[in-house]
Every structure is written in C-alpha cells, then in structure tokens.
A and B are shown apart, each in its own frame.
Chain A
Amino acid sequence: MARIIVITSGKGGVGKTTTSAALAMGLALRGNRTAVIDFDVGLRNLDLIMGCERRVVYDFVNVINREANLNQALIRDKRCDNLYVLPASQTRDKEALTKEGVGTVLEELSQTFDYIVCDSPAGIEHGATMAMYFADDAIVVTNPEVSSVRDSDRMLGILSSKSRRAETNAEPIREFLLLTRYSPERVARGEMLSVDDVQEILSLELVGVIPESKAVLGASNAGVPVILDKESDAGQAYSDSVARYLGESVPHRFLEVEKKGFFSRLFGG
C-alpha cells in the first residue's frame, strides 16, 4: 500500500509544484517507488518543473476516461528509475477529475508504489479538493506572509472535514508545515514573520524551512528538481525535509543570518 501525500496551500505561487517535484525526487532517491501526480487540470506545469514536458503523450484524464492505461501515461524520470510523473490534462473541463476516477487511479498506483505525491492546484475548487480527498498525509506549503498563512489555516479546516479520512472517521490526515521563501535576514530585521511566529499561529509540525534561494528559479529554468542541486541551500533544505518527513530527526539549517566578515558587510557581499 502506498502512502498518499498531498502538497497543498490554498494560495498560489508559494511553491507547491517546486515542493512536489523536490519531495518526490527525494523520496525516490532514497529507494522508494514514487509517483508524482499533477492535479492542476488545464494549467499543467509539473511536467515543466520535472523536465519531462516533451515526453507527455497521455495524461491523468486520459487514464480516468480509459483512453490510455496507467503504464502508457506514467513518465519515467530519466535521472531516477524509481520516479514516475503523471501529467495533468490541458482540458478546460475542470470536472474531468471525478472522485471515482481519481480513486481508481490512486488505488491502482497503490499496488506498485510506495509513495504517491499529489501536487494540488491553488484555490479550494474541484481540483484542489480532489488532490486532498484521498490523502494520508498533507504538506501545507506556506510563505511567511499574511495571506499565505491565512489560506493555509483555511486548508487545514478543509483537510479535517472534506477528506476520505474525515468522512470515514479514520485516523486523521497527518499535517506538516513546510515554510518556503524564508529570508533570515528579513526576519532578523523584523520585516518578515519568523518560523516560530508561523508555527505558533498554525500549530503544525514543522517538516522544513526552505530559504529564499536563487537555486529555485535556476532549477525550474532547467527542469531539474531543486533537490538535485546538492550544493544549493534550497536543495539541502529539501533533502532535510524529506528526511524529517520519513521520521528522521534532523536539525533545521538556514534559519539564521549567515555571519559576514566586517569587510563584506561594509562593501556588500
């Protein structure tokens, strides 16, 4: 049986797809058979971030409609044999993802995969509710910014009421906070909510803090999940987050302002 993880946030542009790509790659690199699914019907983007946009033949909706089988639609990652991508459809019919259809596909994937990562679209519309409905775990991606924090809290409410686990009175979805675009410098200057602030407001288990990093745009430009950029702060922070998600106890990095020498402070660095 696979563990189903939804990457959600409510607000758009906070890093859900970046996180889905990084987390799925991280899990796969550790030897887990992992599938990552794009639920953003009509605005497919996970394929671009994963760098497999030119290999898309069939998509999620084709599989639901039985126009293709799963093996035809799943794209095997070229860098990691354990990782497969199921792209979203570009159809404008948002209702194409039926609950039964999604359930059947997840059930079939569960037979052969260890982890299924569901990349949710922004908002609380159909695609987002479908992405979270079958989840066992939720990673709530949040920026240290008022609207993102508020939307994350809204999503927590929806997760606890409109999921399969909630409806069947099963054990509730495990919820984790992933703080992205974190800038320790701005936190130190009192311009940005700190990790502690956000955690105090949302009271969630913190799975990771990803620093604001040039590496993220670089990685998406190149179609390489940022976790593969092992030199980068963001890549390392994602690796740590994967370890924490899997239950390892890893100290948080990149939370403090890097100490600079006197001259670099004086002349900029």
Chain B
Amino acid sequence: MGLLDFFRSARPNKGTASVAKERLQILVAHDRAERHRPSYLPRLQREILEVIRKYVDVDMNAVSVNYEQDDQHEILELNIILPDGAQRA
C-alpha cells in the first residue's frame, strides 16, 4: 500500500460490493421461488387462457398465474383481467 492508498483508505466505503449484494439477493430469491414452483404452471396458464378465449377476447398477457408457498399451505393465485365491455356469451 502506497502513499495514495493511505489517503484513499481514509475515505468512507463507497464500493461496488453493496450493489453486488443487492443484485444477488433479488436474483437468488427469484431463482428459489422458481425452483419450488410446480412444473405444470406454464401449461396450466396456457390452457386456462385457451378456455377463457373461447368466451371472452382477452389478451395473451391478461392471465397471470402465481404460486406461493409458506410453511403450512400453497397458494395458487389466478388473475384474469377482462377487457372493458367484453362480450359475454
């Protein structure tokens, strides 16, 4: 460590490690949620969408399927956004 570093080290920490930690926390949480998700979810979402589209003209992105898990139970959450003034059969 030379003279310059001596003065540099006196400055408060302003490194990139905190950025790394933040990014990793988000990423790892996301990866872990994905890992515990049942493998049928994408297919379920596609089939639900197909059924709904028989009756209502909804957008491809109008159906969201969420899967959450805690100690006691698993929650499968379906969210379907119907367009304004949708024609009902």
Q: Which residue of B lies closest to A197 (CB)?
A: B21
Q: What distance in Å separates the Cβ of B16 from its nearest Cβ neighbour in chain A?
A: 6
Nearest 4 pairs between A and B by C-beta? A190-B15, A190-B13, A191-B15, A197-B21
- Of A53-61, A145-153, A222-230, the one contacting chain B is A145-153
Q: What distance in Å separates the Cβ of A251 from its nearest Cβ neighbour in chain B?
A: 24
B81 lies within 8 A of chain A by Cβ: no
B89 lies within 8 A of chain A by Cβ: no
Enumerate chain B residues within 8 angstroms of A201, measured Cβ to Cβ: 21, 24-25, 28
- The docked-state distance in angstroms from the alpha carbon of A265 to that of B31 is 43
Interface string of B1-18 (1 = CB under 8 A from A): 111011001000111111
- Asked whether B15 lies within 8 Å of A157 as measured between CB atoms, the reply is no
- Asked whether B3 lies within 8 Å of A266 as measured between CB atoms, the reply is yes
Number of residues in A with C-beta < 8 Å to the partner? 26
- Asked whether A190 lies within 8 Å of B16 as measured between CB atoms, the reply is yes
Binding site for A on B (CB under 8 A): 1-3, 5-6, 9, 13-18, 20-21, 23-25, 27-28, 31-32, 35
Q: What distance in Å separates the Cβ of B34 from its nearest Cβ neighbour in chain A?
A: 9
Enumerate chain B residues within 8 angstroms of A200, measured Cβ to Cβ: 21, 25
- Asked whether B25 lies within 8 Å of A267 as measured between CB atoms, the reply is no
For the complex with contacts A265-B6, A268-B2, 17 further pairs of A-B residues with Cβ separation under 8 Å are A146-B20, A146-B23, A146-B24, A149-B28, A153-B32, A187-B17, A189-B9, A190-B14, A190-B17, A191-B16, A192-B15, A193-B17, A200-B21, A202-B28, A260-B1, A264-B1, A265-B1
- The docked-state distance in angstroms from the alpha carbon of A149 to that of B31 is 12
Binding site for B on A (CB under 8 A): 145-146, 149-150, 153-154, 157, 187-194, 197, 200-202, 260, 264-269
30 inter-chain pairs at a CB distance below 8 angstroms, sorted by A residue, are A145-B20, A149-B28, A154-B31, A157-B31, A187-B17, A188-B9, A189-B9, A189-B15, A190-B15, A190-B16, A190-B17, A190-B18, A191-B17, A192-B15, A193-B21, A193-B24, A194-B17, A197-B17, A197-B21, A200-B21, A201-B21, A201-B24, A202-B28, A265-B1, A265-B6, A266-B3, A266-B6, A267-B2, A267-B3, A268-B1
Enumerate chain B residues within 8 angstroms of A154, measured Cβ to Cβ: 31
Q: What distance in Å separates the Cβ of A171 from its nearest Cβ neighbour in chain B?
A: 20
- The docked-state distance in angstroms from the alpha carbon of A269 to that of B3 is 11
User: B interface, by DSSP: helix, strand, loop or mixed?
Assistant: helix
- The docked-state distance in angstroms from the alpha carbon of A189 to that of B17 is 9
Enumerate chain A residues within 8 angstroms of B28, measured Cβ to Cβ: 149-150, 153, 201-202
> B24 contacts which of A149, A189, A266, A267 (Cβ < 8 Å)?
A149
- The docked-state distance in angstroms from the alpha carbon of A189 to that of B1 is 13
Enumerate chain A residues within 8 angstroms of B3, measured Cβ to Cβ: 266-267
- The docked-state distance in angstroms from the alpha carbon of A197 to that of B20 is 9
- The docked-state distance in angstroms from the alpha carbon of A266 to that of B14 is 22
Enumerate chain A residues within 8 angstroms of B21, measured Cβ to Cβ: 193, 197, 200-201
- Asked whether A157 lies within 8 Å of B6 as measured between CB atoms, the reply is no
Q: What distance in Å separates the Cβ of A157 from its nearest Cβ neighbour in chain B?
A: 5
- The docked-state distance in angstroms from the alpha carbon of A265 to that of B21 is 29
Q: What distance in Å separates the Cβ of A193 from its nearest Cβ neighbour in chain B?
A: 5
Q: Which residue of B lies closest to A260 (CB)?
A: B1
Enumerate chain B residues within 8 angstroms of A191, measured Cβ to Cβ: 15-17
Q: Which residue of B lies closest to A189 (CB)?
A: B15
